[in-house]
Amino acid sequence: MDSRNSILKRIQEAGCYSADTSEHSSTIDLKISESIKSITPESKKDLWDQFKKEIELVAGAFYKTENINASAEIIIKFLTDSKISRVGISNEEICLKTALKIKEIESGLKIISPSQFDHAERKKEYAVTEAAVVNPSFAVADTGTLVFTLKGAGTSYPHFLCDNIFALIDESRIVPNQFELFRRLRREEMKEMFFVTGPSRTADIEKVLVLGAHGPRNLTVLMSENIAQ
Amino acid sequence: MKSPAPSKTKKLIKEALGNGALRSAVFKATESSALSRQKIIDQIPYWEDLRDKAHLIKKDVIENLSKYLTQFERNCELNGIAVHWASDSAEAQKIILDIAKQNNVTKVVKSKSLTTEEIHLNDFLKANDIESLETDLGEYIVQLNDQIPSHLIIPAMHLSRKDIGELFAKKLGVEYTEDPAQLLLTARKILREKFLAAEMGITGVNFAFAANGSFCVVENEANAHNTLSLPPIHIAVMGLEKIIPDVSMLPYFLKLLPANATGQKSSTYVNFIGGPTGSAYGEGPEQIHIILLDNGRTKILKDPVLRESLYCIRCGACLNACPVYQQIGGHAYGWVYMGPIGSVLIPQFLGEKEGRLSPFLSSLCGACTTVCPTKINLPHHLLTLRSRIVDSGNSKFIERNAIKIWSKLGSNAKVYRLMSRIASFFQSKLFFNSPLRVPGYNKERQFPLIHSEGFRARFLKMNGDKKNG
Ligand code: SF4
């Protein structure tokens, strides 16, 4: 008998039984959802306030901007101050638009986009690029989390290999918590996605927190009321 | 790599107790982890309900394991993930080696995974001329130091920044520094190159989802994501119990795990993997393999009560809460799992003979159970295992026989009375009425004095006094 079948046989022989716990489970769910309801802000503005508070607690930065022009200006200021000359972007249209806007003002900047390179080249290029502009699909208010689907981003190299991340997001993309998030995501999207809550970090040495472990050191969220405009 | 055996636990405990620096490092780290955990829990009013829910989900999974595993297997295959089943360490090692050989792999990067520690993967790959490098900072440190992790979540908890500075200077040839940021920078530079050059990435699995054939890896450093996305081949090694029915149940666990593990509301990264992404996005692995590892889990499943130990999500909170772990640290347990959950798993995984001492490394105070996110009744399981170890003849000879004699004498009132008089007589004559020390403890731990009158006489007297009063 191969291992698969012998493992399954051993499981069956273990004689497990399944008591019906669905009623108990629904009671707990009800309690949880009532409790969540009682602490969840109702308006979009309050949800974004909660998101801002949470992301700042995990060393992220948050700005509300009017449109992508305003976001581009914040990014340019950072790039100039930090003498950064390469900006990586992910696949979403808004990232390309912002990159073009940035280049319009700072023509010396080099834009690195995923479609320019094959796999081997792509990872090398992003690994030497210090800043990236990305576009999360959702922001989760109660934890300060950004949600990226691979279908949308088409790449995850800028998000992880570049040191300074600018995440552009529309005001409408806020959800109160992960329970709601999973109701909003499509089943296919759930298979290939990643959640990001702050810059990468470690506290492996005497529990001293250090940012920028193997991923970004800085994460700035730029939220606009109408990002498409 | 040093991998001490649990049967040597006594010697290891002595060493740990004699190491002041280790004790203070472990004590400080566990205290601060417990405090940050509490801060997060205070903000989640439905914390206890979450624990109840997680317990029920895990119960359902463990009681219906074959159903969920076969569903997972089917859906993985539909997603293009190759599923392998391994009965034990040797089989899992062979599967990994075969994949590596077929693809001419010589360089592997790994992210923290206790399951791969369980199968001694690094040593095995090294013996087969494959470089296998840990990329989580703590794991990288313990690998450099030729050790195994001393904590489920903070692998290098037992080392001070001075120890790590000296280690880096010696092994990596860099200038000595105690600054954690500088130490990280050194590791980051080396590992970035390794990520880019690796031909295969190996991770564990935090949760796998039966209904859609995908899985997730939770982390803070971004090393797991780099391990998953940069090399062209990915292998995930997963204990059979890591499955949950559906990805929509994940939010319960994504609240419980980071709060308990690291005192965070959310871990920095949660990576979801649902198939080879190479062809669709021009990056990411072209091959994904998942190994479903038994290695003793189906043996644990046989016991209707102890199978609860498979509900563990390896959050490490029971270690931080345990007064015994706080004193001796993780290496004293002698295996990859330590603390209260280690004490429960060791005799079940390695057998009652090898793990005969492990369930006794507990004061049975119950702190572990009160923090456990899936409500595993750890003290109860420790007691069950203690009695099993005694029943199987694996307890100490003196202890076993002393208890036997005691139960014989204690079950006959006349003999018991006589023996207590004799014992009291000898105590007063031979030991000048000083109490006897409890063997194996410090000198303050003493047996109470044997009363010269005996319990029965004192009881009758007390009762008489009451009546007269
Ligand atoms: S037994 Fe419970 S508390 Fe201990 S590591 Fe496992 S899940 Fe966490």
Its ipTM equals 0.97
pLDDT of residue B428: 77
Residue A131 C-beta-side C-alpha neighbours within 13 Å: 25
What is the distance between the alpha carbons of residues B307 and B62, in angstroms, rounded to a whole number? 8
B225 vs B459: which has the higher pLDDT: B225
Indicate whether B239 pLDDT > 90: yes
Nearest CA to ligand 1 atom 7: B312
Minimal Cα–Cα distance from B126 to chain A, Å? Answer: 24
Q: For A3-20, what is the mean pLDDT?
A: 88
The least confident of B18-27, B59-68, B331-340, B442-451 is B442-451
Atom of ligand 1 nearest to the CA of B339: 4
Distances (CA, A) of B193 to A81, A201, B113: 28, 19, 21
Indicate whether B2 pLDDT > 60: no
CB contacts of A10 in chain B (<8 Å) are 294, 298-299, 301
Q: For B67-89, what is the mean pLDDT?
A: 97
pLDDT of residue B350: 94
The least confident of B1-10, B118-127, B133-142 is B1-10
B366 vs B456: which has the higher pLDDT: B366
pLDDT of residue B359: 96
pLDDT of residue A58: 97
Query: Dihedral sign, CA of B137, B262, B329, B308?
Result: negative
Is-above-0.90 flag for pTM?
Answer: yes
CB contacts of A127 in chain B (<8 Å) are 192, 196
**Which domains are seen in chain A, by residue range?**
1-38 (no CATH), 41-224 (3.40.50.10420)
pLDDT of residue B385: 97
B212: nearest CB among A16, A187, A201: A187
Q: For B44-70, what is the mean pLDDT?
A: 96
Indicate whether B37 pLDDT > 70: yes
Minimal Cα–Cα distance from B80 to chain A, Å? Answer: 12
Contacts (Cβ under 8 Å, ≥6 apart) of B22: B16, B158, B329
Helix or strand holding residue B301 (H, E): helix B297-301
Indicate whether B187 pLDDT > 60: yes
- How many residues make up chain B in this entry? 469
Q: Cβ contact (<8 Å) for B301 and A11?
A: yes
Nearest CA to ligand 1 atom 8: B315
**Nearest Cα residue to B325 out of B21, B17, B1:** B17
- B322 Cα–ligand 1 center, Å: 11
Atom of ligand 1 nearest to the CA of B152: 5
A136 in B contact zone (CB under 8 Å): no
**Which domains are seen in chain B, by residue range?**
45-298 (3.40.50.10420), 399-468 (no CATH)
Q: Cβ contact (<8 Å) for A160 and B304?
A: no
A121 in B contact zone (CB under 8 Å): no
* pLDDT band per the 50, 70, 90 thresholds, residue B438: confident
DSSP letter for each residue of B377-441: -HHHHHHHHHHHHHHTT-S-HHHHHHHHHHHHHHT-HHHHHHHHHHHHHHHHHHSTTPPPBPTTS
Indicate whether B469 pLDDT > 60: no
Minimal Cα–Cα distance from A76 to chain B, Å? Answer: 26
Q: Give the chain A residue whose CA is nearest to the CA of B76.
A: A191
**What's the token pair of residue B393?**
């003849």
Distances (CA, A) of B108 to A151, B97, B129, B199, B417: 27, 11, 11, 6, 70
Task: Show which of residues 150-189 on chain A sit within 8 Å of chain B, judged by CB atoms.
Answer: 150, 154-157, 160-161, 177-179, 181-183, 187
pLDDT of residue A68: 87
Minimal Cα–Cα distance from A105 to chain B, Å? Answer: 30
- A115 Cα–ligand 1 center, Å: 44
Atom of ligand 1 nearest to the CA of B309: 1
Indicate whether B66 pLDDT > 80: yes
Minimal Cα–Cα distance from A14 to chain B, Å? Answer: 4
Q: Give the chain A residue whose CA is nearest to the CA of B278.
A: A119
Q: Cβ contact (<8 Å) for A192 and B25?
A: no
Q: Give the chain B residue whose CA is nearest to the CA of A32.
A: B46
DSSP-derived letter for residue B135 is -
CB contacts of A154 in chain B (<8 Å) are 281
| Average pLDDT score, chain B | 92
What is the distance between the alpha carbons of residues B207 and B214, in angstroms, rounded to a whole number? 9
Q: In this structure, which amino acid lies at residue A222?
A: L
Q: Cβ contact (<8 Å) for B86 and A2?
A: no
Q: What is the pLDDT of residues B335-356, one digit of tens each?
A: 999 999 999 999 999 999 999 9
Q: Give the chain B residue whose CA is nearest to the CA of A187.
A: B212
pLDDT of residue B3: 55
Q: Cβ contact (<8 Å) for A213 and B304?
A: no
pLDDT of residue B166: 97
pLDDT of residue B423: 81
- A20 Cα–ligand 1 center, Å: 25
**What's the token pair of residue B267?**
């871990």
What is the distance between the alpha carbons of residues B321 and B328, in angstroms, rounded to a whole number? 13
Task: Write out residues with Cβ below 6 Å of ligand 1.
Answer: B 152, 312-318, 341, 371-374, 376
pLDDT of residue B250: 98
Q: Could you tell me how many CB contacts below 8 A there are between chain A and chain B?
A: 237
Nearest CA to ligand 1 atom 2: B372
* pLDDT band per the 50, 70, 90 thresholds, residue B63: very high
pLDDT of residue B182: 98
Nearest CA to ligand 1 atom 6: B312
Minimal Cα–Cα distance from B324 to chain A, Å? Answer: 20
Indicate whether B467 pLDDT > 70: no
| Average pLDDT score, chain A | 94
Indicate whether B468 pLDDT > 70: no
Q: Cβ contact (<8 Å) for A210 and B181?
A: yes
pLDDT of residue A60: 98
A213: nearest CB among B62, B86, B184: B184
- B316 Cα–ligand 1 center, Å: 6
Helix axes B180-197, B161-172, angle to 10 degrees: 40
Task: Show which of residues 80-109 on chain A sit within 8 Å of chain B, judged by CB atoms.
Answer: none
Q: Cβ contact (<8 Å) for A119 and B138?
A: no
pLDDT of residue A15: 79
CB-CB neighbours of A18 under 10 Å: 11
Q: Cβ contact (<8 Å) for B272 and A190?
A: yes
Strand, coil or helix: B319: helix
Nearest CA to ligand 1 atom 3: B372
CB contacts of A16 in chain B (<8 Å) are 62-65, 301, 307
pLDDT of residue A144: 98
DSSP letter for each residue of A3-72: HHHHHHHHHHHT-------HHHHHHHHHHHHHHHHHHS--SHHHHHHHHHHHHHHTT-EEEEESSHHHHH
The least confident of A44-48, A119-123, B395-399 is B395-399
* pLDDT band per the 50, 70, 90 thresholds, residue B293: very high
Q: What is the pLDDT of residues A26-47, one digit of tens each?
A: 999 999 999 999 999 999 999 9
Q: Give the chain B residue whose CA is nearest to the CA of A7.
A: B87
Indicate whether B88 pLDDT > 90: yes
- A202 Cα–ligand 1 center, Å: 21
**What's the token pair of residue A123?**
């990872």
Q: For B118-147, what is the mean pLDDT?
A: 96
Q: What is the pLDDT of residues B408-432, one digit of tens each?
A: 888 888 888 888 888 888 877 776 6
